[in-house]
Amino acid sequence: MLKFQTNELINDMLEVFLKHNVVDKTSLRNFLIRKRYVELYYNQKMKSKDARKLIAEEFSIGEKTVEYILYLQKK
């Protein structure tokens, strides 16, 4: 129950940040993609390739774009 409330709080905060231009839509989308990957791969024990494919479908983007978001090293 606490995990659900925490996720709901994070989502609410992100919506407020987006509304007040603290974060842009692309950064928010990338955060949500990384968060979804953790849920699928680590929590639900889904294979990495399957998780990336599902995320690509959910966000209507290519699998290569998902890989780029997940594995891009920030400098």
Angle in degrees, 0-180, between the axes of helices 2-19 and 25-38, rounded to the nearest 10? 170
Helix or strand or coil: residue 73?
Answer: coil
pLDDT digits (tens, 9 = 90+) for 14-32: 889 989 989 889 988 998 9
- Sorted by sequence, the CB contacts under 8 Å of residue 51 that are 6+ apart come out as 37, 40, 41
Total-model pTM: 0.80
Query: What's the pLDDT at 9?
Result: 85
pLDDT digits (tens, 9 = 90+) for 32-58: 999 999 999 998 999 999 999 999 999
